[in-house]
């Protein structure tokens, strides 16, 4: 496996062609011509194109369309006020040069599953909704799952107002420029109280399903994870005339810290990644004055994650001291371990096991999701669709046509099983 299929549209349309049509409309939005990856950052033009697409899908189906106080989009089949709603959806934004599936597969599958239920003529006792949560990846403002965190009250409006992008544009200004009132943002308990269950379908971001030979799986847990900013400050100086012994080179310390992160993660059976860096003055012939590196680390349990991050920080401080470099470490975000609702998970297993005869493995994951954030407030579950490349957050991310179709049918079965009269 592993051939990057260049975002080729998954096809067969379980619900009369709607899946393929939606997929084709979304594919060009925010795609970078050279990298072939997606750059759909929150509240930028590409994101607004995706949001317009969502509103169009709602209108085309005669669904009740809403944007909530935090900018999340909703499309309702049934009365949004009735309560005990079954909600499904995901996100449309991307990481830098992300793949086509992380996020959009869940939103497109949600609309297709609704179409499938309508084609079946299912008599619904509960309202259904499709949701697009804003700013899931945190690619622009540094914090992931902003839309769901705000709604769940896990991010205060005041803290959200302090988020800024690399150009110094604040989140409120970005929202305002996109026509959304930033003074409205904040916890939305009344909205959550009207939801009885949330199910997010997502492309798998590893190869567990590929290895087990299953098209669809159910999520068990999300690893605790966080982002830490390491600021190494040294002394800018001439690359040609400064003797090695006279240098206070933060790049050297940063490099040693990257190696330490790899070692600590390996020892703990966890993961640790420095995927983003900024350098000042960023000149080819100058020793840097500042190297700022962002650590993303995740582990199966909190104790292991603490061990990894403490170990990396300790190593970084040792290397910094040895080279006369100052170090500040700031935890920018953190998400504790998520254990998905057992009753809902079992119900999904029952629905999928009996109706389709497919086996449904239960998987843990190191990736964060809006479903993880919401699980603190409402019963929440996730479905994963097989990804033969196992690659994600990259254009090589993939899901085969018939696996996407199986995902839509599984989601339709789940929605029907939960909401049928
Ligand atoms: O897991 C992540 O990096 C993000 O929350 N999707
Ligand atoms: Mn992602
Ligand atoms: Mn995602
Ligand atoms: Mn010079």
* DSSP codes, 272-331: EEEEEEEEES--TTEE-SEEEEEEEEE-SSHHHHHHHHHHHHHHHHHHHHHTT-EEEEEE
> 380-385 and 195-203 as β-strands: parallel, antiparallel, unpaired?
parallel
pLDDT band with cut points at 50, 70 and 90 for residue 361: confident
- 160 compared with 1, residue with greater pLDDT: 160
Distance 82 CA to ligand 2 centre (A): 32
Cα–Cα distance measured from residue 305 to residue 359, given in angstroms and rounded to the nearest whole number: 32
For the Cβ of 338 lying below 6 angstroms from any atom of ligand 1, the answer is no
Q: How far is CA 189 from CA 195, 292, 376, in A?
A: 10, 37, 12
pLDDT band with cut points at 50, 70 and 90 for residue 225: very high
Phi/psi for 143 (5° steps) reads: -115, 130
Q: How far is CA 319 from CA 206, 222, 245, 253, 294, in A?
A: 34, 32, 15, 6, 17
Pocket test for ligand 1, best of 147, 219, 369 (most atoms within 8 A of CB): 369
Annotated binding-site members for allantoate = 227, 285, 298
Integer-rounded Cα Rg, in Å, for the chain is 22
Pocket test for ligand 1, best of 225, 226, 370, 373 (most atoms within 8 A of CB): 225
What's the mean pLDDT in 168-194?
97
Distance 174 CA to ligand 2 centre (A): 21
What is the average pLDDT value for the chain, to the nearest integer?
94
Count of C-beta atoms within a 10 Å radius of residue 269: 11
pLDDT band with cut points at 50, 70 and 90 for residue 251: very high
For the Cβ of 163 lying below 6 angstroms from any atom of ligand 1, the answer is no
In this predicted structure, the answer to whether residue 16 has a pLDDT above a threshold of 80 is no
Kindly tell me the number of DSSP H helices and DSSP E strands found in the chain.
13, 15
Q: Are 239 and 420 in contact (CB under 8 A)?
A: no
């Amino acid at each position: 496996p592993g051939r990057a299929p260049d975002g080729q549209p998954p096809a067969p349309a379980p619900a009369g062609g709607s899946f393929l049509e939606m997929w084709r409309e979304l594919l060009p939005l925010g795609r970078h011509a050279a990298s072939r990856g997606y750059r759909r950052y929150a509240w930028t033009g590409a994101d607004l194109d995706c949001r317009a697409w969502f509103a169009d899908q709602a209108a085309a189906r005669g669904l009740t369309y809403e944007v909530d106080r935090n900018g999340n989009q909703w499309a309702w089949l049934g009365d949004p006020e009735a309560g005990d709603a079954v909600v499904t959806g995901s996100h449309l934004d991307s990481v830098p040069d992300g793949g086509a599936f992380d996020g959009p597969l869940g939103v497109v599958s949600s609309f297709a599953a609704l179409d499938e239920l309508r084609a079946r003529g299912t008599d619904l006792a509960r309202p259904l909704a499709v949701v697009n949560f804003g700013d899931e990846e945190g690619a622009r403002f540094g914090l992931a799952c902003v839309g769901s965190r705000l709604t769940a009250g896990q991010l205060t409006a005041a803290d959200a107002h302090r988020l800024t992008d690399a150009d110094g544009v604040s989140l409120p200004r970005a929202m305002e420029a996109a026509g959304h009132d930033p003074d409205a943002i904040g916890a939305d308990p009344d909205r959550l109280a009207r939801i009885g269950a949330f199910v997010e379908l997502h492309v798998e971001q590893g190869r567990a399903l590929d290895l087990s030979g299953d098209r669809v799986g159910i999520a068990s847990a999300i690893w605790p994870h966080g982002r830490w900013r390491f600021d190494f400050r040294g002394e800018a100086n001439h690359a040609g005339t400064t003797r090695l012994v006279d240098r206070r080179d933060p790049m050297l310390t940063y490099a040693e810290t990257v190696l330490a992160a790899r070692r600590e993660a390996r020892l703990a059976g966890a993961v640790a990644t420095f995927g983003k860096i900024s350098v000042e003055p960023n000149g080819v012939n100058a020793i840097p004055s500042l190297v700022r590196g962002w650590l993303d680390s995740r582990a199966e349990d909190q104790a292991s994650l603490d061990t990894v991050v403490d170990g990396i920080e300790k190593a970084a401080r040792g290397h910094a001291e040895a080279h006369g470099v100052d170090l500040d470490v700031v935890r920018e975000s953190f998400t504790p371990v998520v254990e998905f609702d057992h009753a809902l998970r079992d119900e999904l297993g029952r629905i999928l096991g009996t109706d389709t005869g497919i086996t449904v493995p239960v998987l843990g994951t190191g990736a964060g999701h809006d479903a993880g954030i919401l699980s603190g407030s409402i019963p929440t579950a996730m479905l994963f669709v097989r990804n033969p490349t196992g690659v994600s957050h990259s254009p090589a991310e993939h899901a085969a046509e018939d696996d996407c179709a199986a995902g839509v049918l599984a989601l339709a079965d789940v929605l029907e099983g939960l909401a049928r009269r």
